Amino acid sequence: MVEISSVQDFVDLLAEAGDRLVVVEFFATWCAACKAMYPRVIELCKENPEIVFAKVKFEDNKVICKAMGVKALPFFQFYRGADGRLASFSASLKKFPLVEEALEAGLAPRCQLGDPKGADEFGRFRPRPLEMRPWRNELESKAETAPVE
């Protein structure tokens, strides 16, 4: 599990993950629900080596937590490549199935557009290139404007 300790770490992690699913857990050492969830999260890490798991410690990263809308702990966010953020929610041990469902949804196969050479069939309505990392600018701007407590 990768530890995120700055906005730059967060941005770099998402960029380096490419099209892989990324699960970010926001936690605090004083949070009983976080402690209860930890063994289950570690179990998921071991069972799913194709997924990038990361953690953000609330006490040391309040700016990131505020910028990302974390209001309760433990808090999970799921990202995947150009799709950006897929899910974002708080979950206790009792609601752990939500985490598992989000994992399954994030790993589900996605539609692929055909080879760009075949785009001629669109005529003048050619698909435009997508912004591959729409979340990067959003995250950086939120982090810059978030007040430090």
74 prior amide bond cis, ω within 30: yes
Please give the single-letter amino acid code of residue 91.
Answer: A
DSSP string, 77-125: EEEEGGGEEEEEEE--GGGHHHHHHHHHHHHS-------GGGGGGGTT-
65 among known catalytic residues: no
Closest to 27 (Cα-Cα) out of 16, 17, 18, 36: 36
Q: Which of 31, 45, 65, 111 is catalytic?
A: 31
Q: Which of 34, 45, 65, 111 is catalytic?
A: 34
Question: Catalytic site residue 31?
Answer: yes
Instruction: List the catalytic residues.
Output: 31, 34
